[in-house]
Amino acid sequence: MSKLPVLLIEDLFSVKKRFLQLFSEDQNLILIGTACSELMARKMLQSFLPSLILCHEQFINTDFLKMLSPFFAGGEISLVIYGKSIDHAPIVDKIQRHLKVRFTAYLWLNPEEDTSYRDFYLSFLELIASRLRIGINKPPMISQPPPLSGKNILATKVIAIGSSAGGPRILNAILSKFSPDLDAAVLLVQHITEPFTEALADSLKKTSSLKMEIARDKLPILKGHVYLAPGGFHLEAEPVKPFTNEGQCVLNKNKMVNNLRPSVDNLMLSLPSVYGKKIVGMILTGMGKDGVNGMCAIKSAGGRTLVQDEETSMIFGMPKAVIETGCVDKILPFTKLPAEAEELIAKM
């Protein structure tokens, strides 16, 4: 099979360097050019037409797509976009409205993480194979995942935390007290709107010795990692493989629960089917009753449940609602919750 010609549109030298390395060792694709601007991309396309364009999401705007439109008129070029957007459907929709593409898709890539390139490239090759119906040989350098270490082992125990009004300050305090070798993953739902997700994640990252991540769809849930539900999305867990107690994140925009998205209940209700009784549920300060059904489900599955006390809660609504169900093991000031949760996890 002749190599598939690809044009890369990317302006960061460090990212281009990584892609050049991947393409140089690949048996299936050949990188025939790299462009760092719309003008350079147009000049290259006037000289040769690739079978596929690989492009960072920052370039996808109406003017850029209008520039590309004449080159896509034959419907033979594919366009793959990469980036860190959680909700990428509008990007794909915009492309499909402006261009006659053979196929288009969005793949997640965090350029700051070395392992992200390996995962991206495997997905990229599998995507090409399925959409273009061609055989693909995976490069030896990425055909096997790296050996598992203490920092990327799938979690078999989880701590699920729900909070609302007054939550960010308490979350910072709690995460700062978890030990770096915590034998569990931490899943967080803070009632927050989408524009503030990254700011909250950055704040939590500064205080915690655990690896802080904004959850994304199909992201493996690893021991010693913290996963924050992004604003506007429900976060759930599902098994990585059927009948296992190792999970991965699931994001969706299903209907609101308790008039909220993300919802604490949505997360907690999904956990027992993956982790069984190896769950510690925790409800912190906040208004309303979100988390009541989830905490009861955790308790029914044999997990343990903790809530923040009234004295240290900014608003006692959510903790009080759970207490009234009788599903709570302990009511504690937030300063004592991390040690209690960690002790419970150690006994599971």
DSSP, collapsed to helix, strand or coil, labels residue 345 as helix
| CA–CA dist 14, 324 (Å, integer) | 55
Placement of tokens 């760092």 in the chain: 36
Tokens standing for residue 184 = 């569990």
| CA–CA dist 116, 111 (Å, integer) | 7
DSSP letter, residue 256: P
Tokens standing for residue 344 = 């419970």
| CA–CA dist 163, 41 (Å, integer) | 47
Q: How many C-beta atoms lie closer than 10 Å to residue 39's C-beta?
A: 10
Contacts of 194 by beta carbon, 8 Å cutoff, 6+ apart: 87, 230, 231, 232
225 is catalytic: no
181 is catalytic: no
DSSP letter, residue 108: E
> Is the Cβ–Cβ distance between 189 and 235 less than 8 Å?
yes
176 is catalytic: no
Tokens standing for residue 246 = 């190792």
Catalytic residue among 51, 164, 208, 270: 164
Q: How many C-beta atoms lie closer than 10 Å to residue 131's C-beta?
A: 15
Catalytic residue among 191, 225, 263, 313: 191
Contacts of 155 by beta carbon, 8 Å cutoff, 6+ apart: 184, 185, 221, 222, 223, 225, 246, 247
CA distances from 68 to 43, 75, 94 (A): 11, 12, 13
Helices (H), the chain: 13-24, 38-47, 62-68, 89-98, 114-132, 140-143, 167-177, 197-207, 264-270, 272-275, 292-300, 317-323, 337-347
Which positions are annotated as active-site residues?
164, 191, 290
